[in-house]
């Protein structure tokens, strides 16, 4: 059994009516790293962990790594932050490249999380990002260490600032493309990993499956598909699609 394991919580694209949207939980040495945090994140964890036979909830997550600010990847952060702060009394490390994190509070979370009343008739309390999360800036050049995980990122060419992720722990490496059009330079960056998770969605700002299927055999052999549409045929593919709630040893 590998010392690094992957549990997909959601594998669908943004419009999926059949599956949860894309999110990955990665485990090493008993610690869990969450990559992307869509809603409903606790329900996603409960269902995936029940299927996989593991225990996973927000209290088990050591850190969250965020690829970008589209809702199908970050809409669960409000509940994650509230639950961590007020139910668990802790602040969670959040890893993101500065081009992603610079708009996270003012343009995404502050509308619902900045002001809160403690009771009827009481004045509201102003809260800050730091009341919920500890920001850890990611870099393309150096790894950021959180628990057993060393994480670095690479920019993609998506419609808003987006980062692919490379996670190293327990002597193994997982790479995740995040949302991106087909990009040979990004493929080369991902290629050194033991397991590559790559999105597969039609469209100009995503990567159609046929372009991945044309990659060399040795690269396809260690690649898995995610972020695929509901009409994507999961059978007979050159590259194996990931399934929600299945544990993968890396």
Q: How far apart are CA 189 and CA 175, in angstroms?
A: 9
Q: What is this structure's pTM? A: 0.96
Q: For residue 216, what is the enclosing H or E element? A: none
Tens-digit pLDDT string for the chain (250 aa): 469 999 999 999 999 999 999 999 999 999 999 999 999 999 999 999 999 999 999 999 999 999 999 999 999 999 999 999 999 999 999 999 999 999 999 999 999 999 988 888 899 999 999 999 999 999 999 999 999 999 999 999 999 999 999 999 999 999 999 999 999 999 999 999 999 999 999 999 999 999 999 999 999 999 999 999 999 999 999 999 999 999 999 9
Q: Which residues span the domain enclosing 50?
A: 4-249
Question: How many structural domains compose the chain?
Answer: 1
E strand map for 83-207: 92-96, 115-116, 125-126, 133-137, 144-146, 149-155, 163-169, 172-176, 195-199
Q: How far apart are CA 62 and CA 149, in angstroms?
A: 10
Residues 12/16/17/22 CA torsion (nearest 10 deg): 30
Query: For residue 204, what is the DSSP state?
Result: T
- List the CATH number of the domain containing 204: 3.60.15.10
Q: How far apart are CA 235 and CA 217, in angstroms?
A: 18
């Amino acid at each position: 059994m590998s010392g690094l394991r992957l549990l997909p919580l959601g594998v669908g694209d943004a419009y999926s009516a059949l599956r949860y949207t894309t999110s990955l939980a990665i485990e090493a040495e008993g610690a869990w790293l969450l990559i992307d945090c869509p809603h409903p994140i606790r329900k996603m964890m409960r269902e995936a962990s029940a299927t996989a036979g593991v225990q996973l909830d927000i209290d088990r997550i050591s850190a969250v790594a965020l690829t970008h600010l589209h809702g199908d990847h970050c809409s669960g952060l409000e509940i994650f932050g509230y639950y961590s702060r007020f139910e668990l009394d802790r602040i969670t490390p959040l890893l993101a490249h500065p081009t992603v994190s610079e708009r996270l509070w003012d343009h995404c979370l502050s509308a619902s999380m900045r002001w809160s009343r403690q009771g009827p008739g009481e004045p509201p309390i102003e809260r800050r990002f730091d009341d919920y999360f500890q920001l850890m800036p990611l870099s393309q050049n150096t790894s950021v260490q959180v628990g057993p995980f060393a994480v670095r990122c690479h920019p993609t060419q998506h419609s808003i600032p987006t980062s692919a992720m490379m996670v190293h722990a327990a002597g193994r490496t997982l790479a995740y493309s995040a949302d991106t059009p087909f990009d040979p330079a990004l493929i080369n960056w991902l290629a050194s990993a033991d397991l590559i998770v790559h999105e597969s969605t039609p469209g100009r700002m995503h990567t159609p499956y046929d372009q991945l299927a044309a990659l060399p055999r040795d690269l396809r052999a260690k690649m898995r598909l995610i972020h695929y549409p509901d009409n994507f045929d999961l059978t007979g593919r050159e590259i194996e699609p990931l399934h929600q709630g299945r544990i993968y040893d890396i």
